[in-house]
Amino acid sequence: MAKSKKKNNRRLYIIVGVVFLLIGALAVAKKQGYIGDSNMVEVETADSETRSIFAKVTESGVIEPAIDVPVAPDVSGEVVSLFVKEGMTVTKGDLLLTIRPDDYQAVVEQAAATLNQVKASQMQAKASMSQAEANLMQDSINFERNKQLFNDKVISQTDFETAQLQFNISKSQLRSAQHSVQAAYFQVKNANASLKQARQNLDRTNIYASMDGTITELNIEIGQRVVGTSQMAGTEILKIADLSNMEVVVEVNENDIVNVNLGDSSRIEVDAFPDETFYGKVTEIAYSAVQTQAGTSDQVTNFEVKVQISPASYNQNAAGGMKDIPTTAESPFRPGMTALIDIFTKQAKGIVAVPIKAVTLSKTLKKDTTGVDQAGQEIVYVLDGNTVKEMPVDLGISDDDFIEIKDGIDADKQVITGPYTTLTKKLEDGMEVKVKEEKKDDEDSKS
């Protein structure tokens, strides 16, 4: 009996030991992920962190001179001399080209002859007025004498009336002569104005530079006829631009334009200089929209924004800070170059942020005051051990990768970032998950 009892106790101890070993093995296997979690959802994680975020608007645009002056002639004619070529630097007052002056010289001579003619007429009118004044003086004396004689009954009434009539005629002739002199005066002024205009048109056959700059566009050649601005719009013969003051012109969508303000700083990448970064600021925002495909379902409403490029961001080349950019040029850019620009509209420093892909909507719909389902609350899933916890969050500004968390979670929390389908469709508050192991690079696996 004693042996049998001991034998049974030994067997019981062995069974209990085996059971404990199996339980321990199962626990280890589960912890290592070999068994027990085949149905657990795998997730990707990242940490919430304290960082700075700069919200921005990104658009592509074209580089243009801030000051770009088109030049058109005031007079029409044939270009007989051309003193510039495209790319040449000019100074204000430099002679650019000459239009054939022959016809305008002839008009000047004709106007001068007309002026001399009307001056002669004016002198003749003055002489006639002087004669009329003399006649009036003589007739006035005769009239006074005859008046006295008539009062003394020396002459007849007929003789008196004849003297009075001659006196009135002389007065009328003097007034007429005075009007003729006045008319001649205005004719001289008109002839002077015509001569002045003719000389101005003659002078305008020479086209001078109106500013310091570079010839960025030349549209005419010697022998070509041009139309002056006195006739419709005129021919745009060339453009002068200040290449030391360049700007990027972009079109910003109506959804983003409300966030853009004058003075906003910008980062500029120019296609012609792929390894360089330039900087600038917003100097002009259009108030009138630019609409493309208006009246259709694809209508797009944009607003033109101009960003001035800071010369300091490319002039540092002289100190060796930039490469492949000419040091002798006022600006390394040419009109028409394309650029990608980031306009920084808002900034938040020292705030809690998470990757944008960590933010999703709660699957629990809210109801408004009328009982209608509304969109769910923005949430972030936080990993607590191997369990996820749904945390409602209040969001702020964002950049390309991160978004500000104003309220909801603190820094240094492990948040779920993916996969997208798992995050948006499968995850629920309190669900157990396992973190997906990161794949090592081939070189790491070989080593």
The answer, as to whether pTM is greater than 0.75, is no
In the predicted model, what is the mean pLDDT of residues 348-373?
A: 75
- In this structure, the answer to whether residues 331 and 374 fall within a common structural domain is no
Q: Cβ distance 430 to 389 under 8 Å?
A: yes
One domain for residues 161 and 304? no
Which of 348, 364, 380 lies at the terminal end of a domain, its last residue? Answer: 348
Which of 240, 260, 288 corresponds to the end of one domain?
A: 240
User: Does 367 reside within a domain?
Assistant: yes
The answer to whether residue 13 is domain-embedded is no
Region of residue 73 (phi > 0: left; psi between -120 and 50: alpha; otherwise: beta): beta
Classify residue 432 by its DSSP letter.
Answer: B
User: What are the pLDDT digits (tens) for 366-407?
Assistant: 655 555 545 568 888 888 888 888 888 888 888 888 888 888
Q: Side-chain half-sphere of 287: how many Cα atoms within 13 Å?
A: 0
28 vs 116, residue with greater confidence: 116
Kindly state whether residue 1 falls inside one of the protein's structural domains: no
Report the percentage of the chain scoring pLDDT > 70. 81
Torsional sign, CA 211, 215, 221, 227: negative
Co-location of 235 and 328 in the same domain: no
- Quick: pLDDT tens for 143-167: 899 888 888 888 888 988 898 899 8
Report the mean per-residue pLDDT for the chain: 83
What was the pLDDT predicted at 189?
94
The pLDDT confidence band at residue 182, using thresholds 50, 70 and 90, is very high
Q: For position 379, what pLDDT does the model report?
A: 86
The Cα 255–Cα 257 span in angstroms is 6
User: Do both 422 and 365 map to the same domain?
Assistant: yes
Closest by CA to 435, choosing from 417, 421, 420, is 417
18 occurs within a structural domain: no
Angle 178-184-187 from CA coordinates, rounded to 5°: 150
In a domain, 45, yes or no: yes
Q: What range does the domain containing 172 cover?
A: 103-203
Q: Give the pair of three-digit tokens for residue 103.
A: 């016809």
pLDDT of residue 446: 44
Q: Are residues 233 and 257 in the same domain?
A: no
- φ, ψ of residue 206 in degrees (nearest 5): -100, 120
Count how many domains the chain has: 4
Q: With respect to residue 11, please indicate whether it lies within any of the assigned structural domains.
A: no
Q: What is the CATH number of the domain that holds 189?
A: 1.10.287.620
- Domain assignment of residue 5, yes or no: no
Establish if 24 belongs to a structural domain: no
CB 344 within 8 A of CB 351: no
Tell me: the pLDDT tens digits for 253-289? 988 888 899 999 999 999 988 888 899 999 999 998 8
Q: Are residues 120 and 216 in the same domain?
A: no
Same domain membership, residue 323 and residue 261: yes
pLDDT of 318 above 70 = no
User: Do residue 255 and residue 342 come from a single domain?
Assistant: yes
Query: Same domain, yes or no, for 210 and 236?
Result: yes
Q: Count of CB atoms within 10 A of residue 420's CB?
A: 11
